[in-house]
Chain A
Amino acid sequence: MKIAFVGNPNTGKTALINAIAGSDLEVGNWPGVTVEKKEATFRYEGESISLVDLPGAYTLSPYSIEEKITRNVLAYEPPDGIVDIIETTNLRRNLYLTLELIDMQKPMVLALNMFDDFTRRGYTLDLKRLEEILGAYAVPTVASAGLGAKEVIARAIETIKEGKRPRIQPLQEHIEKEVAFLMRKIEQAGVFPYPKRLFAIKLIENDAFAVELAQKAYAEEVLRFAEGARKRLECHIKLPIRTIITRSRYEVIDRILEEVLTEPVVDRVALSERIDAVALHRFYSFPILFAILYLLFRITFDASAPLVEWTGGFFEGYIGPHLHALLSVHLPSWLDSLLVDGVINGVGLVLSFLPLLFFLYFLMALLEESGYMARVSFLLDRLARSLGIKGNAFIAMIMGFGCNVPAIYATRTMTSLRERIITALTIPLMSCSARLPIYALFTALFFEENRAEIIISLYVIGVAIALLIAWAANRILPKSGMKPFFLELPAYHMPTFRAIWVLMWPRLKDFIVRAGTVIVAASIVLWGVIHLPSDADIHDSYLAKGAKIVTPLFEPAGFGRHWEPVAALIPGTIAKEVVIGSLGTIYGIESVRREPSPHDLWEDTKQQAAALKDALIASVRNLFFLSGGSEEDMPAPGTIQTRLKSQFDGPLAAYSYMVFVLLYIPCISTIAAIKEEFGWRLAIFEILFLPLLAYGTSVSVYQIGRIFLS
């Protein structure tokens, strides 16, 4: 038995499914697009029930990609029943979708969500009467607290088993006559994936999808009749057809609401409006926005830093050596090296990122759930306008500072492919957190005096080039499929931990699985190029040979004399922070590994546990006291540092190298995300374009800098 959960955006659908299915919730993607697909299968009284969470939709005439998915799933993979989630405080608008769903004539249950808010604001609802009118159960729920979830599912199953269909809510008389006649024509023409009544109405509405369905089936008669019906109605009522039908639907809704809804005498001035008076204020809004963004990144980096460090150390200093001690006895040395240096390194790399992404996703979800994200779009839309994008593009870009991968996925909420492409082109230039360790290393060596300024200047270069590219893309790309800006500003509300978790967990899991496989696979390949042919010296490896060939090309950029820094860029395509590790490997220092004897295991475990405790304490402390300690304490100049310093002719060359690192390619995971979202063409374009861009910029920086500094 399959039950689809349908509802307007921001109605708490996912929270409700989560409350019903709990840990059974599976997150995947809809085929062809990477809109999150959440599904759950569980047993209920001996029967297997599967729940599908359809993306939020206002109506069945889609405006966004997500709405399209919802419509397509309902048409092509019809569920046995529908749970329609309604934001009770916004009943009128939500009932519009309900009426369309009723026209599908599937067993259906209404979940009146956020019911607590609704009563608190002084509204009352005659539930019995509403159920009578609609011929469907209506269950009050508070999904964020899990209230009513059990009843929803029980009622849904009951309705499906009884095969009870909701009562049709007739539209205006003239429309109904045409619909009835058209339905007969449809019956004669054959079987369509859309339920008859809805199909008839959508055909009269001239809905593109419905018309296409009829054309594909060569239902000429049906099409001809639908067009006739449309003309008759438009001629009779003297309004465009969409207006006629929409208006008629709202007449039905208002008649229902009149019977069942009692509004409070004075609706309490929504707190939301009072917050907006400040948050969207002419003078305060931008300082508030910048303060929030600053805190977002500050908390993310500060709170995660101790944990990131611990995770790195855990794999490098604990798992690695002990596994090596264990394996080296039983396995040939190359396999041991592959497993420890290749696989474990890769896993460690992925996992060391988790604390950072955890905090980033948590805070992003907090902003999204609270309703502030929509305000960010509102505030910044003016800037986006001249670039052919909309305010929400900046949200994706801001996310890119944390990690480019989720930023690419964030573009999918945009309404046109054109906007998505323009935004996606800018994202790789947002300096993500993985590039920061490289800047940290280099600035500590070459710019001791003004590290912060130098690092900020790199972010600025990235953003400036991104805006330039967006501007150019906006001029070049054909101006087709553009849709007007439209934004709903939902009421602010206090997010629950559960709601935030439901929003962030799929993204985190996605990262572990997707980025995980790519990075681990790439780490193995990388191990290959570094250690092959044979287990010889690093200087004779494929990597070194390749790097030595291309190195002279970088002469104009200021770092073309030594092959080592150039070689480190190649593994850097896997993930930027790998550059540092590779420098270590290439300079041949890291391989000096402590050889622990097995009985150290217990001691080491205790040590790791203690370090973890310290890291957690430090993390919590950083969370609350944003005081200091964010400047990474660079260890005393080690071998990497001295070698590096000797290989760059001064700060300008080092800066040019950092600029190259910033721009030359985001990382394999980002490219994979671009490929998945936009296809091979854009991915290949990025692979070719970004290195050229990086090269051009580095050379310009170095050459222009030389003129000024000499």
Chain B
Amino acid sequence: MKLADLQPGQKAIVKTIGDLGELRDRLMELGLLCGETVQLLRRAPLGDPLEFSFGNEKIALREEDARKIDVEPISRPHREEKKESV
């Protein structure tokens, strides 16, 4: 599964980060390493970009880039979050 496929509120473990050039190094330096838990917080109102959180960090990536990151989901989408986004 790709990072971009997560539902808002859903958590996942990072498996591999694909070819994002320098951004890949940057994400790792910020702590987005394999094995780290990452959560999709929300999509921007216009559909893109997506906001993620890991550790204490909150970052936004575009969907095309979030497609290059492989993850393993560890939770079902939060109901609570769904309610909020309605």
Contact = CB atoms under 8 A, between A and B. Distances in A.
Interface of A: 58-59, 61, 63, 89-90, 92-93, 96, 242-243, 246-247, 250, 273, 276-277, 280-283, 285-286, 377-379, 381-383, 385, 391, 483-491
Contact of A489 (B28, B33, B58, B84): B58
B21 to A, nearest CB: 7
B11 interface: no
A484 B33 contact: no
A57 to B, nearest CB: 11
Contacts of B56: 89-90, 92-93
Nearest to B22: A63
B55 A379 contact: no
B34 interface: yes
A484 B21 contact: yes
Contact of B29 (A59, A283, A484, A488): A59
A246 B44 CA distance: 30
Contacts of B47: 382
B26 interface: yes
A96 B29 contact: yes
A383 B46 CA distance: 8
B25 A282 contact: no
A92 B34 CA distance: 16
Contacts of B57: 90, 93, 488
A367 to B, nearest CB: 17
B44 A381 contact: yes
Q: What DSSP secondary structure best describes chain A's contact surface? A: helix
B58 A488 contact: yes
A379 B84 contact: no
Given A485-B65, A486-B26, 16 more contacts: A63-B26, A93-B56, A246-B25, A246-B28, A246-B29, A246-B33, A281-B45, A281-B85, A379-B44, A379-B46, A382-B48, A485-B62, A486-B59, A486-B60, A490-B58, A491-B58
B62 A282 contact: no
Interface string B35-51: 00000011011111101
Contacts, number: 113
Contacts of A285: 45
Contacts of B48: 381-382, 385
Nearest to A61: B25
A485 B29 contact: no
A357 B27 CA distance: 37
B44 A250 contact: no
A92 B49 contact: no
Contact of A486 (B23, B45, B64): B23
Contacts of A488: 30, 57-59
A378 B51 contact: yes
B61 interface: yes
Nearest to A239: B34
A385 B47 CA distance: 12
Contact of B85 (A93, A282, A489): A282
Contact of B22 (A250, A277, A483): A483
Contacts of B45: 280-283, 285-286, 379
Nearest to A254: B31
B24 interface: yes
B34 A243 contact: yes
A483 B25 contact: no
Nearest to A487: B60
Nearest to B35: A247
B84 A277 contact: yes
B44 A382 contact: yes
B20 interface: yes
Contacts of A383: 46
Max chain A CB contacts within 10 Å: which of B22, B51, B85? B22
A377 B46 CA distance: 12
28 contacts: A58-B29, A59-B26, A59-B29, A61-B29, A90-B57, A92-B55, A96-B31, A246-B28, A246-B33, A280-B42, A280-B44, A281-B84, A378-B60, A381-B62, A382-B48, A383-B46, A391-B49, A483-B21, A484-B20, A484-B62, A484-B65, A485-B62, A486-B61, A487-B60, A488-B30, A488-B59, A489-B58, A489-B60
A640 to B, nearest CB: 46
A503 to B, nearest CB: 22
Contacts of B59: 486-489
A276 B60 CA distance: 13
Contacts of B33: 243, 246-247, 250
A63 B59 CA distance: 15
A291 B30 CA distance: 34
Which A-B residue pairs are the 4 nearest by beta carbons? A382-B46, A487-B60, A489-B58, A246-B28
Nearest to A272: B58
B46 A485 contact: no
Nearest to A246: B28
Nearest to B84: A277
A58 B22 CA distance: 13
Given A286-B45, A382-B46, A489-B58, A242 B28 contact: yes
Contacts of A282: 45, 85
B49 A378 contact: yes
A486 B28 CA distance: 13
Nearest to A251: B33
Max chain A CB contacts within 10 Å: which of B24, B56, B84? B56
Contacts of B55: 92-93
B45 to A, nearest CB: 5
Contacts of B25: 61, 242, 246
Contact of A485 (B21, B41, B49, B85): B49
Contacts of B58: 488-491
B44 A484 contact: no
A274 to B, nearest CB: 10
B43 to A, nearest CB: 8
A236 B44 CA distance: 42
A488 B20 CA distance: 17
Contacts of B29: 58-59, 61, 96, 246
A24 B46 CA distance: 46
B65 A58 contact: no
B7 to A, nearest CB: 14
Contacts of A273: 41
A286 B62 CA distance: 19
A58 B46 contact: no
A385 B28 contact: no
A484 B27 CA distance: 11
A92 B56 CA distance: 8
Given A92-B56, A378-B60, A381-B60, A487 B49 contact: yes
Contacts of B62: 381, 385, 484-485
Contacts of A487: 49, 59-60
Contacts of A280: 42, 44-45, 51
Max chain A CB contacts within 10 Å: which of B27, B30, B41? B30
A92 B57 CA distance: 10
A247 B51 CA distance: 23
Contacts of A391: 49
A93 B20 contact: no
A90 B55 CA distance: 9
Interface string B1-31: 0000000000000000000111111111111
